[in-house]
Structure formats: C-alpha cells, structure tokens
Structure 1
C-alpha cells in the first residue's frame, strides 16, 4: 500500500503538472474550446482514444461481456470501422474544414452556424447539458466501483475523490489541459491493458486453453439468458432473439453508430492544424481503441473461466454476491482484485483511474462550453475574460449535476447509460451533422424538425417502450403500471435507435426537399 500511495502521488503530480501547462497556455476562448488548434497528432490521437475509451468501456462493457460473452467483440469492430476509420477519414477532415470556415469552436456552434439557426445551436447545447451528465455519471461510477473494490473505500468517498481531481485540471486548463492529461493517461491505459491480457492468459493456462475452457461452458449459461437466445459465452446469440437484439442493437449499434455524433469527440478534429495531421492521429487512435476494447471484452468474457475454476460460479453469479442481484459493473473490479496480486491490481487501478479521468474531463469540458459558450455566448470572436469565467461556472454546474446523477443511478447501469447517451446523440444529431458536411440542399427547417423528431422519439421509447431502459427510469411503470407499453412484443427489447434514427433521417430529407434551402450553402 505504501508503494501504491507513492506511485499514486507521482501520477497525480504529473496530471497536475499537465493541467498547469494547459492553464499557462489558455489565454483565449479558442485555447479553452479547441486547444488553440495546433495539437500534435500523437497527442490528439491518444486524447481522442482516451476520451472515447473510459471505465464505461472497460468496467461497464467489459462487465457486459462477462454476462453476454465474446459476442461483444462486434462492438470492437464497430468502434474501429465507424469510430475511427469513418470518423477520422470521412467525417473528421470535413468537420475540421467546416469548423475553420465557420470559425466554430464547439459542436452546437458548428450546427447552428451552418444552418443559420440560433435555435439549433441552443437546443443541441441544452440537450448536451441535460443528458451528458448521465454518461459522465456512468464513467464516474466505473472508476468509483474499482476504487471501492480495490482499496475497500467507501463508494461515495471514492466518487468524490475521483471527480474532484478531474474538476481541478479541467477548471483551470480548458481543452489544452484536457488533451495533455488525456495523452498521458491514454499511454498509461495502453500499458495497463497490455499487462492485463498477458496476465489473464497466463492465469488461465494460455490463449488456446483459456478459450477452449470458455467454449466448454455453454451448459452454464443462465436459464433466463438461454430462454432469450443466448447460446454460449464464446458464440453469438440466436439470430433475432431477444438477447441478439440487446447485444447488437443496444450495445453494438447504439455505441458503434452513436460515436459519430459525440460532441466531446467531434471537437477533437478541430484541435490539429491540418488534414494530414488528422491522418497521422488516426493511426495512434486506431491502434489504441482496437487494443483497449478488444482486451476489455475478451477479459470480461474469460472472467467466467476464472470464477468457475475458483468458486464454481460464473461472472453473473459472482457479481451478485453480497449485493441486490447480478451487476455487470462489478465483474471487472472483482476479477482483477481476486485474480491478481495486490501490486498488479494497484497498477490496474491507475490505468482505470486514467480511463475514468480522461473521459470525464472531456465530458465536463463539453458541459462547460455548452452552458457558457453556446447557451449564453454570442460569437466565436469573444475572447474576453467573461467567456472563460462563464465556462468555468458552467463546469461547476455540470460537475454537481454529474455527481448527483451518479449517486441516484441504480447498479448494473454503466453500459446501459452509455448506450442511451450515444443513441440519443445519433438520433438527434447524426443526420443533420452529415447533412451539414455533404448535402447543400439541406434546409434549416429540415434540420430543426429532424433534430426534434430524433430527440423526442428516442426519449419516448427510452422512457416508455424499451423495457431494459424504461425500467430504470420507472416513469412507464408509474403511469401505465408496467415497464413497457409494448408489452412483451419486439419493440420492448429493440433499442430505440433502430426506430428513432431512421425516422430522423426520413424527416430531414422530406422536410428539406419541401422547404426553403439555406441562403448560402456551406
């Protein structure tokens, strides 16, 4: 423990120093919003990856792999193809070019300026300010759960310790402080996952032996999941079964597509000087995300082998011990704390803290700029001290909202809360974001209605139709006396994105074709 405290102190000092560097170089709103637009490709690529991959991915989705098996690796494919290749090559360069042309420093400002609509800018900023704390809370819970398990720390204390450290360097350093610390934390995360996969395979007898053991555990699939279509921990669920729809539509498509419309990631495209440097950043980010998600999901699934050999249970059963029921959020922390020596667990803890802090910093930064710059600001030319003051005040508001949400959310929530935010962003923003980049005929009216339809359909289905999510909020049960107004029909287990995104696209195209186009297409 004494060694860990020394290492933790060094880690915090490095983080504080990088936050201080960000503070020293943050002189204007452009510095605070997009880190001055001159960040090195390695720093940008690692910061993008570290913001994308958080404890939500490692603890939440890794824990989900403990329940649903290696079918989760389809999310790794989606993350690489959509979240890296399409995001950087197809969306990134056009976004950076449009952002420079419009002198837009935030995602809401980019949309509002292109469609010449103050309403679009303020609606998207308000939506970010209201919903992003849900995703940030999921990340915060993941880090706090691991602190709780590893250090036997009170959960609420762990939550405050983690969040206050992040608040400090985002408050002073803006996006410069965020990307500097993210690049450092991303490097630490990469080393942590490399050791994690190596030691996991060593613990379970090697690569082929470990996977053979997992493949032999099909008979141990819980009856409830088998009834929903799960066939084994190393195989895909039955096609179009309830389990298949949850894995593919919620966990894979919800996050895999939703990543394209993530404001905390989109703003990273604007932090480099040229498209060429964006290509260089793609390499670093791609390797990082491939390794991080592939390792997390593989280890999550293989944890079943460890729990079966040591306690004759599986991950789902082990995570329910001493709690109120099975909890995906506890699988990875329990596996790491039980399977490895203390010194190695402490190193993993630093990696997971880095994962939590890197993503939280980006999320809190977006909440800050959404409130101060897009809801209360006027133009991108405002470099006054008032802008930075409002940004830091907005950061405090977002921080407090996130801590409150983290305290009221139930267990088993990290993966679901993450997919809700990603899915809502895709339904509300992806069509009009893509339209801003490639469709000159798109209209202000079409964009407005598309954004509203996507927001309201996704929200309605999340609250009243999709049982897995509506049960969390309890509104459907309070009003109608059941978790889903769709009963046990397909809509009760098909993710809202499958309905909301096509509806948003159709409305965008039809209304744009029958309304006045933009006066000067950008």
Structure 2
C-alpha cells in the first residue's frame, strides 16, 4: 500500500462527510411529529426518489459482500445474486409498488407494520410486526461490517475504532435530519455509486478480453473448476437449481416487502410520476447489480485468496481488491463509493427501524401511560439503543462470522420479509378483512423459517457448517402462502372495500 494512502483517504473521507452534513442541515425540517420524520415533506422529483430507492436496494451487500461470495463460489453465486434475484426484484417493484402506494397514501401509513395493522384493522398485527422489525438490525450489522472492512484496510486502522466512529456519526446525522435528509444524501450517494460501479466494472476489462486463447472462464476454471459450473456442489449456498434459482427468485420477490423499500413510493407527489420513477429505478439498479461481476475480477487478482501474506476472509476480498488494484486517487474514489453504497441503505434502516419500533410497538403498548412523552422523543431513545446494539453485534461479526456477515444478515432480514409477504400481498391484491389470514400466515412464516434454520430441517440444513438462510426463507414463504390461501378460501369473512 502507498504510504500516503491512509492520510489521503482520511482527508477525502472528512470532505465527503462534510458534504453529507451540509445536505442534512440544508434539507432539515423541524421534526414536530413522527410523520414528518418518517415521510418528510414529500416534495421530491421522481428521479431523486429513484436514486434513493436504487441506493437503498443495493447497499454494501451488493458492492462489498456479494462479490465476495462470487469470488469464492464463482458462476453459481453470480447467477443467484447477479441474475435471478435482480430480475425478481424488478418484477416485484413494478407489481407491488403501485398498489402499496395507492393504499398507503389514503391511510397515511408510516411503516410496513403500520400499513398491515391499518389494512386489516388489527392492533396485534401492528405490534407483532413492530416487534419483528428488530430483525432488520441484522442488516445494519452487515452494512457496518462492510464499511468497517473497507475503511480499516484503507486507513490501516483498528476495526473496532472505525466501527464506533461510523455508528456515532451516521446515527447522529440521521437523527438530526429524518427522511428529507435521507433522500438528498441518498441522491448524492447514488450518483457516486454509479461512477464507482462503472470504474469497478471496467477494472477487469483485461480479464474479459481473451489473451493467448484464454477467456475469463478458462482462467477461473484453471484456479478451480467449480468456479465455472452453473451449480457449485462444493459450496454451502449454491449447490443446485433449487438453491440458485427457486430460492433466490422467491427471496427477490419478497425482499421488496421491506419497510425502507415499499415506503419509498409514498415520497412521490403525483401518481403520474410513478411510472417514470419505476423506469429510472430499474435502469439504475441494472448498473448497480452488475457490480457483483467484480467478484470474478477479485478471484483472478487473488487466485489463492492471499493478500499481504494472509488468507483473505470473504468479507475482506473486495476491500483488498480495491486497495491492491487501483492507483491511489482512483482507489480513494472507489472507497468513497463503496462507503456511499453502504450509507445509502444504512440511512434508510436507521430511519425505518426506530420509527417502526416507536410508532408500532412502544406507543401502542404504552398507550395513555406515555405521560407527556412525545413520539419523536421515544424515537430518539430507540435510535440510541439500536446504535448500541449495532456496535455490539457488528463487533461480534467482525471477530467470528459464520463464513460471512451476509449469512447473519440474511437470517434476520429474510425472516422479516418472509413474515411480511402474505400480509402485504393479500392486502394489496384482495379486499379481504379476515385478520386470520395475515396473522396465521406470518406466524407460520416465522416458525418455519427459524425452525428449518436452527433445527436443521431438510437435507440442505442437516449437519451443515454454514446454513443457507434462503432455503429457510423460501420454505417459510411457501408454507405461509399456503396457510394464508387455505384460510382465505375456507374461512371467508365479509370483505369490505377499501380505498384503492
């Protein structure tokens, strides 16, 4: 590493954070209510919200963690994360976003839990999904670990110190700004991500151009033949058609049911802007999802996964590739882009999780016993506790991950949207008010997901050192959909029209 790399990276990082703080102060509105904190002033263009959505959907997982899976397991991982899942997400965005917006606007929903509770007229569902939202902290952990890995490599600094500073800074400016700030900062971050995505995609051009009769897959096969097979029987996650295609197709559709994704549609001011917003979003997402190809480049750059005499852990492969591959100034730009990729989703989660816990769990439980405490004050306190939990869990994943922090995050996040899928899907596409449909389906989803994962049910999980959360999630979604459909048709209740 160039001896000036840490200092120049630090200076660049301080300038970048200074710009973010300026945007926070410039866009800040007085957060008199939890509604303005959660939804902002709703005066954004369709392109700005598209940038925000694309940045939120493609976080540190897409730019840092998932390419590491591809570096380790090759084509099978690329098909899962670079083809099947993105296509499923695009379909779900188009199908679900418009319908969610139509109902969400009319009932002024702040969160998925709030939307589900109001849609079915159930306080239990609202509180239940408020409680389940704590699972999304695992995604915060993934992003914190990814950014910490990048910064610790670039700054040559202690990971714990980087982690603590990161959490304190980002949670502080999000607490000050809310959604208005998030949309502006996400837009800046998305523009940086586009630039960095192009740089990363171009960094392996020499590998794509055949040299001496050898193309990229021939070179990968020379390292390990399993890197070029459609299904990698030696991997713990991409062994066959079901794991690579079926599971990731189901997960890709359900992933859109996260609160920081669907609620983006509520930031669009006019209905006629929605199609333009979706078009912009998908075009930007195509560029972002393509970045996982960098995993191939990294493996060719580190055939034995050795860097500076040490064996690379999966989450450290892309940070090492960036520092090793690029000249210092391009490398610093890429590092800032990778940080932007993480911050874009991190900001959405920091806004969504405390808002959900406040609005859908704490306030309904406290009821009249709040005694003058405002919702925004509760939100600040919850944000503090989420920050502390994020530091503790992230440090544990830095020290002793199960292959990757990605596995830890998938287990939590996939469980949440497995539970949310049937309530949101039936809430959008039917007029049923039968509360047993979402309650039973969501309970079945949670029990199935964690039952399969921790009890090691199915041959995929039995005795596995590294377990695949997508397997548990796919079965959970299928089981909950079957349960919800069965109740819907066998125990019909009077359906009442709601505003659409």
The aligned counterpart of 1:447 is 438
Mapped to 2, the partners of 1:247 and 1:341 lie a distance apart of 38
Shift of 1:159: 0.8
Structure 1 residues 463 and 447: CA distance shift in structure 2, 3 A: same
- 1:66-215 correspondence runs (5 A): 66-74=71-79, 75-87=81-93, 89-129=94-134, 131-201=135-205, 204=206, 207-209=209-211, 212-215=215-218
Report the CA distance shift for 1:492/1:377 in structure 2 as closer, same or farther (over 3 A).
Answer: closer
1:67-466 superposed matches below 5 A = 67-74=72-79, 75-87=81-93, 89-129=94-134, 131-201=135-205, 204=206, 207-209=209-211, 212-221=215-224, 231-237=225-231, 243-245=238-240, 248=244, 252-253=248-249, 255-295=251-291, 297-308=292-303, 313=304, 317-318=305-306, 322=310, 327-377=313-363, 386-409=374-397, 410-411=400-401, 412-441=403-432, 443-465=434-456
Instruction: Quote how far apart the aligned CAs of 1:426 are.
Output: 3.3
User: Deviations along 1:269-294, whole A, 9 cap, x unmatched?
Assistant: 11111332222222332122211221
The answer to whether the aligner puts 1:35 opposite 2:25 as a matched pair is: no
Give me the CA root mean square deviation: 3.0
Partner deviation per Cα, 1:383-405 (whole Å, 9 max, x = no partner)? x9812222222211211111111
Q: Indicate yes or no: 2:483 matched with 1:507.
A: yes
1:328-359, Cα deviation, whole Å (9 max, x unpaired): 10110111111222222211111111111111
CA distance in 2, matches of 1:171, 1:188: 23
Residues 1:146 and 1:4: Cα distance change in structure 2 (over 3 Å): closer
Query: 1:101: how far off?
Result: 1.8
Alignment of 1:474-493 (within 5 A): 486-487=462-463
Residue 498 of structure 1, CA deviation: 2.8
For the Cα contact (< 8 Å) 1:15–1:181, is it kept in 2? yes
Change (3 A) 1:138 1:271: same
Secondary structure, in 3 states, of the residue corresponding to 2:41? Answer: helix
After TM superposition, give the deviation of residue 26 of structure 1 in Å: 3.9
Compared with structure 1, are the counterparts of its residues 144 and 167 closer, same or farther at alpha carbon in structure 2 (3 Å cutoff)? same
Using the alignment, how far apart are the partners of 2:420 and 2:166 within structure 1? 31
SS of corresponding position for 1:496: helix
Shift of 1:494: 7.5
* Distance in 2 of aligned mates of 1:436 and 1:293: 29
Q: CA deviation at 1:114?
A: 0.5
- Cα deviations across residues 474-493 of structure 1 (Å, max 9, x unaligned)? xxxxxxxxxx5x3479x989
Between stretches 446-455 and 511-520, larger displacement belongs to 511-520
Distance in 1, Cα, partners of 2:64 & 2:239: 21
CA distance in 2, matches of 1:276, 1:247: 39
Gapped regions of structure 2 (runs ≥ 5): none
Q: CA–CA distance in 1 between the matches of 2:458 and 2:391?
A: 26
The separation in 2 between residues aligned to 1:442 and 1:211, in whole angstroms, is 61
Runs of 5+ consecutive residues of structure 1 not aligned to the other structure: 222-230, 470-483
- 3-state DSSP of counterpart to 1:132: helix
Distance 1:276 1:78 in 2: 30
Q: How does the TM-score come out when normalised to structure 1?
A: 0.84
Check whether the contact 1:169–1:178 (CA below 8 A) recurs between aligned residues.
Answer: no
Contact kept? 1:432, 1:447, Cα under 8 Å: yes
Work out the number of aligned pairs and report it: 480
> Secondary structure at the residue paired with 1:36?
coil
Q: Secondary structure at the match of 1:37?
A: coil
Secondary structure of 2:40's aligned partner: helix
Q: In structure 2, do the counterparts of structure 1 residues 215 and 466 end up closer, same or farther at CA, with 3 Å as the change threshold? A: farther
Do 1:25 and 1:176's aligned partners in 2 also have CA atoms closer than 8 Å?
no
Q: For the Cα contact (< 8 Å) 1:93–1:278, is it kept in 2? A: yes
Deviating more after overlay: 455-464 vs 1-10? 1-10
**Given that residues 435 and 442 in structure 1 are in contact (C-alpha distance below 8 angstroms), is that contact kept between their aligned partners in structure 2?**
no
Q: Indicate if the aligned counterparts of 2:120 and 2:434 stay in contact, CA closer than 8 A.
A: yes
Report the Cα offset of residue 238 of structure 1. 5.9
